[in-house]
Chain A
């Protein structure tokens, strides 16, 4: 079974989902990503789904979980590159994905991540505790 690679790019992690992912692979990715966020102390995660040809309720739930878990660990997630047909289908299916930040492509996603990370830092979420 092909493992989905997670790359470190600066203070961010980049996940490019390039296989037709089955459920077990999605769960493994969720675990791997959680481990890597802690290990690398990444402040943001970019998940590129531009080659993913369907997002069903299970994959939708995994994306939501990854966003929530990463947020709890003090990092942000942006999902980028959703294909138009996939976007139309998930809306019709009834998935809202409201808790996930999305962007059109990797460049716009990076820009959004930087904004989100700065915002969190200014709100003090990443500041060391001060007496």
Chain B
């Protein structure tokens, strides 16, 4: 209830401020920052997924004797971003799309085959920023709140030593594992510096984490993704940890080689971390009549 009241109060303040900005002559100097911004830049994002890390650790431990190099889940990724932003001076509504490549990592077996893994992360973010003008509007600083669709996809396949890639390997850790759709929130700070007419740069630092998660049951996660038909291939049984949030389940590992796939686990959990970005913004369409 307190949170709702606070949020309502904040919203009221924001709209009051927005009205003041648009109506009050003392805010006229902000009008030159109103318009549609084209944004482009670079973002670095940390990627922390505890259960994936634990899965990699157990994989490395179980397969240690046959591995030349170990599997290591990347802890961050980076790449260019681009987007559009509606700027009402203090208020910014925007959409950004990340253009980064998937994270790739691998472990090489002693016989020359390579376990290859690739993580595709969400690409789109919608955000709302509240920024306060400083130094006559040459600098804006404030908070940013954003929303992502929390979802990622893990491709795990074997590049065989005879040159072919196979997903269906009967080893229990191959496949394309897709998390269900959650909604992730972002919260952080933003600093804008207006350099020259129509051009500014933005610095952002945000945390991201799941705020609304889909209902998770044994049937709604990454069901059967770690299903193994290994016993059909006569692979000896091994136990590895699941790439899932163990707080949601009692059984935390899977026996590779177990064909009882209907009991195989769902994989839960989304990554969390920080996002740092630096973008250049160009005021593509100005709402300031004098500026036209």
A, B: real partners: no
Which A residues contact B (CB, under 8 angstroms)? Answer: none
